Amino acid sequence: MAAEVESITEAQRAIDVVHLTKIYHTTKKEIKAIDDVSLHVDPHEFVSIVGPSGCGKSTLLKILAGLDELTEGEAKIFGEGITGPGEDRGMVFQAYTLFPWLSVRKNIEFGPRLKKMPVKQKREISDYFLKMVNLENFANAYPKELSGGMKQRVAIARALANNPKVLLMDEPFGALDAQTRSDMQQLLLQIWKREKTTIVFITHDIEEAIFLSQRIYIMHSHPGRLADELNADLGLFDGSELVKPAEFLKLKDYIVSLLKK
Ligand SMILES: Nc1ncnc2c1ncn2[C@@H]1O[C@H](COP(=O)(O)OP(=O)(O)OP(=O)(O)O)[C@@H](O)[C@H]1O
Ligand SMILES: [Mg+2]
């Protein structure tokens, strides 16, 4: 009976990573990028993964996106083994990855166009997401005319326009200035609450992880291993205002101490 209950829970998980190891083979050596990592993300959860440079964060996300293969273990999405990219997952990277030859609107409509949606429906989708990311006035602009924050808003809109169940974000705000970054964090939280997307968010900014997430996985490097899993859903913020500074600092200090080990 216990086994049955366990298997139902596992099938309902948005992401389930079980004893995952990733080894890269270069001409000179083998690099163990990820060593026996197990983690999960439930539907509608906002989970961050924090860790130093080289601990395998991007590698893990690429495996979840189906853009890279694991060496050992399992990576599942809603109970199914991940075998390649799929519409159920949207990706937002740190580097700006818009199509430079397409307008903002056409970038957002890219996924719907691949699905051969009728013009009217595509338009409705792009209108909806342009509004969501406050870029209605830039529908016809091209990526080179946009600031970094605006480009990332288009990237988020483009990922969401595909109606993914899971949004995979690899340091999406890493290149932004502090104010824009803070605005983007709040926008992302609004979108997450409204769309009920499941989000896996990679960052090496501890405060960003605490502000955004319900749970945080901390990783160590060389090889990339899991150090701890923390609950960050502690009512530390009311909107963007920090209302429990002592608890916030305690959590932050603990994560810093883990990363120093
Ligand atoms: N294609 C590849 N071939 C060989 N080694 C790789 C490859 N991609 C990543 N690695 C190695 O795997 C390890 C993890 O890299 P990864 O990019 O996942 O780290 P990261 O945690 O995302 O770091 P950062 O915070 O700097 O983005 C590193 O040692 C890296 O050199
Ligand atoms: Mg990375």
Q: What is the mean pLDDT of the chain?
A: 92
* Confidence band of 7 (pLDDT split at 50, 70, 90): low
40 bridge partner residues: 16
Pair (156, 183) in one structural domain: no
**Distance (Å, whole) CA 248 – CA 16:** 28
The bridge status of strand 198-203 relative to strand 46-50 is parallel
Domain count, the chain: 2
Q: Print the domain residue range for 157.
A: 96-163
Give the end of a domain, one of 163, 194, 210: 163
Task: Tell me which H or E stretch contains 225.
Answer: strand 225-231
Stretch 18-27: mean pLDDT, rounded? Answer: 95
In the prediction, which pLDDT does 201 show?
97
**Distance (Å, whole) CA 219 – CA 16:** 17
Pair (66, 115) in one structural domain: no
Give the end of a domain, one of 111, 130, 163: 163
Pair (84, 170) in one structural domain: yes
Pair (108, 210) in one structural domain: no
Closest ligand, as measured to the CA of 204: 1
Give the list of residues 6+ apart from residue 181 with CB closer than 8 angstroms, or none.
149, 173, 208
Closest CA to ligand 1's atom 26: 53
CATH number for the domain spanning 68: value is 3.40.50.300
Pair (70, 187) in one structural domain: yes
Encode pLDDT of 207-245 as tens digits. Answer: 999 999 999 999 999 889 999 999 999 999 998 899 999
Encode pLDDT of 30-60 as tens digits. Answer: 999 999 999 999 999 999 999 999 999 999 9
Give the end of a domain, one of 110, 130, 163: 163
Q: Is the model's pLDDT at 4 over the cut of 70?
A: no
Ligand 1 nearest-atom number relative to CA 55:
21
Contact 92, 170 (CB under 8 A): yes
* Confidence band of 1 (pLDDT split at 50, 70, 90): very low
Contact 50, 206 (CB under 8 A): yes
Q: Which protein residues touch ligand 1 with a CB less than 6 Å away?
A: 24, 26, 31, 33, 51, 53-59, 204
Pair (65, 130) in one structural domain: no
Encode pLDDT of 167-208 as tens digits. Answer: 999 999 988 888 888 988 998 999 999 889 999 999 989 999
Pair (13, 133) in one structural domain: no
Closest CA to ligand 1's atom 31: 54
**Distance (Å, whole) CA 238 – CA 163:** 28
Ligand 1 nearest-atom number relative to CA 56:
18
Q: Is the model's pLDDT at 62 over the cut of 90?
A: yes
* Confidence band of 165 (pLDDT split at 50, 70, 90): very high
Quote the percentage of the chain above a pLDDT of 70: 96
Encode pLDDT of 116-158 as tens digits. Answer: 999 999 999 999 999 988 999 999 999 999 998 899 999 999 9
Q: List C-alpha distances in Å: 239 to 69, 186, 190, 245.
A: 39, 8, 10, 14
Pair (48, 140) in one structural domain: no
Helix%, strand%, coil% for the chain, nearest 5: 40, 25, 35
Q: Is the model's pLDDT at 11 over the cut of 80?
A: no
- The pick from 31, 60, 201 for probing ligand 1's pocket by mutation, whose C-beta has the most ligand atoms within 8 angstroms, reads 31
* Residue for token pair 């979108």: 191
237 — phi, psi (to 5°)? Answer: -120, 145
Contact 48, 201 (CB under 8 A): yes
Contact 232, 215 (CB under 8 A): yes
DSSP letter at 199 equals: E
Q: Is the model's pLDDT at 5 over the cut of 70?
A: no
Stretch 67-91: mean pLDDT, rounded? Answer: 95
Pair (244, 216) in one structural domain: yes
Nearest to 217 by CA among 206, 236, 230, 198: 230
Count of all residues that appear for the chain in the document: 261
Pair (151, 68) in one structural domain: no
**Distance (Å, whole) CA 21 – CA 233:** 29
Pair (176, 72) in one structural domain: yes
- The pick from 21, 29, 34, 58 for probing ligand 1's pocket by mutation, whose C-beta has the most ligand atoms within 8 angstroms, reads 58
Give the list of residues 6+ apart from residue 101 with CB closer than 8 angstroms, or none.
142
Closest CA to ligand 1's atom 17: 58
What are the start-end ranges of the H helices in 133-212? 148-160, 178-195, 206-212
Give the list of residues 6+ apart from residue 246 with CB closer than 8 angstroms, or none.
none
Quote the percentage of the chain above a pLDDT of 90: 79
Pair (23, 145) in one structural domain: no
